[in-house]
């Protein structure tokens, strides 16, 4: 079973529809899950606050520590990093090294299709061509100096990580649930490999 965490910040219906997962707002229910998805649309600080007040913080950290499959989408990816300019003083989950920064050029937020360039081979991109387009909606991007976790980049006036991985924890800045066949293929790959 795939548990989709409901923090009141995500595109839950579409994620549920394309993954067959179950939306949950109860941290206890994730113990019955095989995999977790954290979708997110909104702000870094409120997302971290909702993780804490909803009782999710320790269960999510424990899940990740145990090496269990986890996928963060958009804001769900950003909270896997250390912090964000969007919410000074708020700590992220620090699964990946790096901080989120605001785009300084172009129309902000970035809304629309952008191509994703793979930096490493990974089964999550199996069957998806290098440079394929995915759908993005975000005003902040991850700034990570750790090439070791970055799987793919996108460019919006600056090159930034579009996907990251450590063990079975994946993060994607784009919305696979809105990215047509390529997004569906990525989600299918994630279900299969994790």
Percent of the chain with pLDDT over 90: 81
Residues 6+ apart with CB under 8 A from 155: 114, 117
Count of the separate structural domains present in the chain: 1
**Catalytic, out of 86, 100, 177, 194:** 177
Active site residue 130: no
pLDDT of residue 116: 98
Average pLDDT over residues 44-53: 92
Q: How confident is the model at residue 174 (pLDDT cuts 50, 70, 90)?
A: very high
Alpha helices in 31-88 (DSSP H): 44-53, 57-65, 75-78
Active site residue 74: yes
Distance CA 40, CA 37 (A): 10
At residue 166, does pLDDT exceed 90?
Answer: yes
pLDDT of residue 31: 82
pLDDT of residue 9: 73
At residue 11, does pLDDT exceed 80?
Answer: no
Active site residue 100: no
pLDDT of residue 152: 96
- The mean pLDDT value of the chain amounts to 93
Instruction: Write out pLDDT tens, residues 108-133.
Output: 999 999 999 999 999 999 999 999 99
pLDDT of residue 121: 92
Instruction: Write out pLDDT tens, residues 58-102.
Output: 999 999 999 999 999 999 999 999 999 999 999 999 999 999 999
Here the CATH number for the domain that contains residue 72 is: 3.40.50.880
Question: What domain range includes position 38?
Answer: 2-193
- Pick the more confident residue, 55 or 194: 55
pLDDT of residue 40: 81
131, 165, 81, 5: CA torsion to nearest 10:
100
Residues 6+ apart with CB under 8 A from 165: 122, 124, 149, 151, 171
């Amino acid at each position: 079973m795939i548990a989709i965490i409901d923090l009141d910040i995500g595109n839950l219906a579409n994620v549920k529809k394309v993954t067959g997962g179950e939306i949950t707002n109860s941290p206890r229910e994730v113990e019955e899950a095989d995999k977790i998805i954290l979708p997110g649309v909104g702000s870094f600080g409120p997302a971290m606050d909702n993780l804490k007040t909803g009782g999710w913080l320790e269960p999510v950290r424990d899940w990740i520590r145990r090496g269990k499959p986890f996928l963060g989408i958009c804001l769900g990816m950003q909270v896997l990093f250390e912090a964000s300019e969007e919410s000074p003083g708020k700590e992220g989950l620090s699964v990946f090294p790096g901080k989120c920064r605001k785009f300084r050029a172009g129309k902000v937020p970035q809304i629309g299709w952008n191509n994703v360039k793979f930096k490493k081979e990974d089964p999550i991109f199996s069957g998806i061509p290098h440079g394929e387009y995915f759908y993005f909606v975000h005003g902040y991007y991850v700034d990570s100096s750790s090439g070791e976790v970055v799987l793919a980049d996108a460019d919006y006036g600056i090159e930034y990580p579009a996907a990251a991985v450590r063990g079975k924890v994946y993060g994607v800045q784009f919305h696979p649930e809105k990215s047509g066949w390529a997004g569906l293929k990525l989600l299918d790959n994630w279900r299969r490999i994790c």
